[in-house]
Amino acid sequence: MKRSPLYSIFTGTCPRCHEGKVFKNGNPYNLKHIMEMNDTCPKCGLNFKPETGFYFGASYVSYAIGVALILTLTFAMVPFIPFFTNFEIYATVNIGATIILAPVIFRLSRHGWLKIFNMYNENAIKNYKAQH
């Protein structure tokens, strides 16, 4: 499970060692501190802020997550609520869910974008400790 590419994304941990936390505060709904990230992984030293503007690409991941959420909710409602006669219900549910889950989507997209550029290395912590 720990070697899974999705492990670090869903646990909020470093994509290289799967142990250090990326965000300083684990609660995405603490909006005052939602964007506070560690500069480097406290366990393996991976730089979480490799360059200015690095996380602009996370908007593509966020878009994909948002589309997947809306499609999932829409297809889940189709058997119970006629689509064309109750479009307002679909819109309300989808917009509401997107707003409520926005902090989670924000963090998942940043984790996903960081994961794209960093692979899991089971020796990352050991190598980092040997260097320092």
Name the more confident of 56 and 5. Answer: 56
Q: Token pair for residue 126?
A: 């050991």
Instruction: Quickly list DSSP for 28-94.
Output: TT-GGGTT-B-SB-TTT--BS--STTGGGGHHHHHHHHHHHHHHHHHHHHTTTS-TTT-HHHHHHHH
Provide the greatest CA pair distance for the chain: 65
What angle (nearest 5°) sits at the alpha carbon of residue 48, between those of residues 46 and 53? 140
- Residue 91 near residue 33, CB atoms below 8 Å: no
Q: Percent of the chain, pLDDT > 90?
A: 80
Rounded mean pLDDT of 98-106?
A: 97
pTM: 0.88
pLDDT score, position 120: 93
